[in-house]
Structure formats: structure tokens, C-alpha cells
Amino acid sequence: MSKEYAWIQETADYLRKQGFRLPEIGIVTGSGLGGLTKLIHNPMTIPFARIPHFPALTTEGHQGKLVFGELNGKSVLVMQGRYHFYEGFTLQQIGFPIRIFRELGIKTLILTNACGAINSTFEPGDLMVLTDHLNVVGQNPLIGENVEELGPRFPDAGEIYSKSLIEAAFSAAESLQICLRKGVYAWWSGPSYETPAEIRMLRCLGADAVGMSTVPEALVASHMGMKVLAIACLTNMATGIREAKLTHEEVLTVAAQAEEKYLRLIPTILNQI
């Protein structure tokens, strides 16, 4: 047994002993979007610091907790906060919680994030469903020894983001009269924001938005056969599109303003899964 798989089993066993049993759906919340946990019935919460092999978080707006409970009749496990490549975490560390989700039995994963809009028809505060991504970082969490119990050595990447879940998201948005965009997301390493030239490059490559998370988790989930839905909160226009400097405070402010949409949309999506 590999060291990674032994750690996965050890962490999953610990969570089961705490009562985290048989979750159906995993959810990862992005910057400023952790309020979803307030809707969970009979929540059980464990800080990352108490979970074996989970390092502490360092990014403002990410609380660093696992919350287990019921949301709209579904058993959910919510990761309140996430790890980022720019913090110095390895991609294996970033993907580790997703490995735990699958070991606990989760087959459906919903990822959220806060990111910048490249498509000039979008507006700050809009939500966008990811239909595909561009990995411009050039790194992959699957590099290294492959654990056959987790997934194949060369996984297909033709449909990382589930078409059926995307349809469910748009159906839910329509019923709630929420404007939901769709597009291609470019993964940027950070922590510096992109230059105007880099944004022009990403636009030429077909990106509609750019952010510093999500793609590593989506790759790990897809590797293990999980169905993935990713919804981005467009907190700002990317560098050079409008005359304004970008700040993390702006990201958190707009994410908080858009959170109300998430709090209505995600529970409604659960009804359709």
C-alpha cells in the first residue's frame, strides 16, 4: 500500500469515527462563499487543524473547516475553505481532501470559487458554470506515482465537468430567475494577479474567466470517477479590461454580495441531482 493511500484511509477512518458517515455530495466553498454551511441541518464541524494530514489554511476568507449534515434532503460534506498552489501547498496536498471525499463514498462534487472575468459581456457579481478549463500553470496533481485503487494512470479529460450537472444547474437557475453564465476557466498560479498582456493571451486561448483554484480539485475528482460541477463567482473584471487595480478585499466584498445567489442556487441544484 502506498503512503498516500494509507493516509487517505487513516483520515477517512478518523472522520467516520467522528460521525461523518455516508455523505452523498461534497461541496468546496471559495473565497467569501462559506455561508452555505449556515443552511445545513444538524451540522457537525471539525477544523482542519484537528484532521489527520490536513495542513492549516493561510488565505483570508477561507475558514478551514469540514461541515457534515443535511441540505435539502441530501447528506452533504462541505469543505469551508480550500488550499491553494500559491500558498506553497503541493498539488497532492490540494487534492488530498477530494481523495477523502471519494473514500467516504461521495460521487458528486460541487466546486465554487471567486475569480476574474475575461469575457467583456460578463459583469462582477455574475455566476459562471465551468464548461471546461485551461491549465496554464503547467502542473498536474496526478504527476508522480499512480495509486491504482484511486484511478487510472492516464485518465480521460474529455468531460471533467459533468454535462448532466451543468444542465441541472441551468434548470435550477432558470427556476430561480438567476442569470447564470457559462464558459472556460483558466487556472492561474497566483498570488500576483495577471498582467494585461497575460489576460490578452488567455482571451486568445479561449478563456472566459481566470482564477487561482478549482482545476487541481477537478482533476483529482475526475481521476477517481466523480461527477464534477464548478460554479465561479465573477468578482471583478480581469486586469486591463477596465481601469481599476485589483485587490483581494474587492474580491471578498463582491463575493459576499453574490453569496445570496449561491445560497439559493446550490440547494435548488441538489433537488435536481
Q: Which of 5, 171, 248, 256 is catalytic?
A: 248
Q: Which of 5, 75, 86, 256 is catalytic?
A: 86
Residue 31 is among the residues annotated as catalytic for this protein: yes
Q: Which of 24, 79, 83, 87 is catalytic?
A: 87
Amino acid, res. 66:
L
Residue 84 is among the residues annotated as catalytic for this protein: yes
Residue 248 is among the residues annotated as catalytic for this protein: yes
Contact 20, 259 (CB under 8 A): no
Q: Which of 113, 119, 162, 213 is catalytic?
A: 213
Residue 53 is among the residues annotated as catalytic for this protein: no
* Cβ neighbours of 204 (radius 10 Å): 8
* CA dist., res. 47 & res. 65, Å (int): 4
Please classify residue 39 by burial: count the beta carbons closer than 10 Å to its beta carbon, then call 0-12 exposed, 13-18 middle and 19+ buried. middle
Q: Which of 84, 172, 209, 230 is catalytic?
A: 84
Residue 83 is among the residues annotated as catalytic for this protein: no
Residue 24 is among the residues annotated as catalytic for this protein: no
Q: Which of 133, 161, 236, 259 is catalytic?
A: 236
Q: Which of 114, 169, 207, 221 is catalytic?
A: 114
Residue 86 is among the residues annotated as catalytic for this protein: yes
Q: Which of 169, 186, 212, 237 is catalytic?
A: 212
The residues carrying an active-site annotation are 31, 62, 84, 86-87, 114, 212-213, 236, 248
